[in-house]
Structure 1
């Protein structure tokens, strides 16, 4: 099928998915979420595909996260049940994903990378959960996944300040597996995917099944549903409206705490 918001290629048992909205730094809106959800559905159902690599178009951004301009302009559409990028609330995928973070991964973009199994980063990559700066919070898995993957204290500090973290600091914190020169990133990601594809796919699926069960035992799905409920309440506040409008108008927000 033709894709409007991503590019999809395959190389043997490897699927390569490229978020393709470079004009908005690969930010995602409801139509893109739904398109990506279908891509992952097809990936899961294809027995000849064993591993996927996810990256962003261009050399600036993996994904800037939520398309706030689309939101501010009253953009329509409902995200799929599987969540941001079709991944944040997908709990049963038994095939591994390698994120090749080629630039900045902000908000939902970072949360999408965290939903992958391996993160390889360009030396120029930047990571942040800056939602608190625009009246939001990291409701697409950032709160849950980052705190589980690097520990609560450093994760909370990132979430409450919204600060950016470079690739090397990301590796030191533990959410980045390896850092590569920009021109070598995709080769490294494909090499990692090929390394994974060289072992037993049945064993990889079994490993992922146990990891998914661990998420179930830790009630990840319930926690993410609760995040959606809290986000719905947050959207009714003056601070939410001010944060989004200030971002679009490129000015400092004037918070009211109500």
Structure 2
């Protein structure tokens, strides 16, 4: 019998859905799943036909319960260092992808699962979602970026409380803290809601979407003036490009814009 795929990839139009498929392990992130996630996001980023990615987990219990503890047990310090750096690279590649990555959180997102949510462009939560970084209760600490991204998202004191106590956030509290931009949705509506958001993004100007993501990424650690300088250049390119011609004309003509695939659009000239 062939083993089921640990990551199920489904492409429908401009949206690619990635489903972590290890329900027997609460969709834990072992090395194989992390490598497949990274590869799938990089391939989506390189494919101009893909405009958005949705990441979710199989079943209704777990988005991902985190790193696979069976892999970590008995690991040497040197091996653990390599493993953590590898996991961090996966999260970083997702965070800075030129295609938006939407986390559809269908259940618990703990440890590395929560870190995957934090690395995504944004998330949509089921009312059954539960998020936390419980590593301290295991004598561990978050290793896939949680100690850095969570304080940036919710503030230092709230992040410290969550990590030091191992407390979990329910979906409503996560929304209150700004960890998701939309109110939690019914479990049966979660994937459809996330895909609808992905399709909405896919209908925007594809070069504009990539430029916005580029500006957001560059601005994370930059001084304001540096970020503004980058924004000026990107905005000027957008204004002078064919994509904005279509968008503005469509608005003035009161019709939906039909944006060209960047792979087939003619090259811009200065």
2-structure distance, mates of 1:110, 1:192: 21
- Kindly tell me the number of residue pairs found equivalent between the two proteins: 217
Match of 2:135 among 131, 137, 140: 131
2-structure distance, mates of 1:55, 1:128: 17
Map of 1:176 onto structure 2? 180
TM-superposed CA distance for 1:143, in Å, is: 1.4
Counterparts of 1:31-110 in structure 2 under 5 Å? 31-72=32-73, 79=83, 83=87, 86-88=90-92, 90=94, 92-110=96-114
Deviations 1:55-102 (A, max 9, x none): 001110000011002322669996596635922455641111111000
Are the counterparts in 2 of residues 60 and 102 from structure 1 also a CA contact under 8 Å?
yes
Alpha-carbon spacing, 1:119–1:90, altered in 2? closer, same or farther (3 Å): closer
Higher deviation after alignment, 117-126 or 145-154: 145-154
Larger radius of gyration: 2
Map of 1:248 onto structure 2? none
Higher deviation after alignment, 19-28 or 87-96: 87-96
Map of 1:188 onto structure 2? 193
Map of 2:19 onto structure 1? 18
Match of 1:116 among 108, 113, 120: 120
Task: Compute the TM-score of the two structures, normalised by the length of structure 2.
Answer: 0.74
Deviations 1:170-212 (A, max 9, x none): 0011102220000000110011111111111111111110111
Structure 1 stretches lacking a partner, 5+ long:
219-258
Map of 2:171 onto structure 1? 167
Secondary structure of the structure 2 residue equivalent to 1:83: helix
Alpha-carbon spacing, 1:84–1:182, altered in 2? closer, same or farther (3 Å): farther
2-structure distance, mates of 1:55, 1:216: 28
Are the counterparts in 2 of residues 83 and 89 from structure 1 also a CA contact under 8 Å?
no
Provide runs of 4+ in structure 1 moved above 4 Å. Answer: 73-82
Task: Compute the TM-score of the two structures, normalised by the length of structure 1.
Answer: 0.77
Map of 2:244 onto structure 1? none
Are the counterparts in 2 of residues 82 and 90 from structure 1 also a CA contact under 8 Å?
no
TM-superposed CA distance for 1:149, in Å, is: 1.4
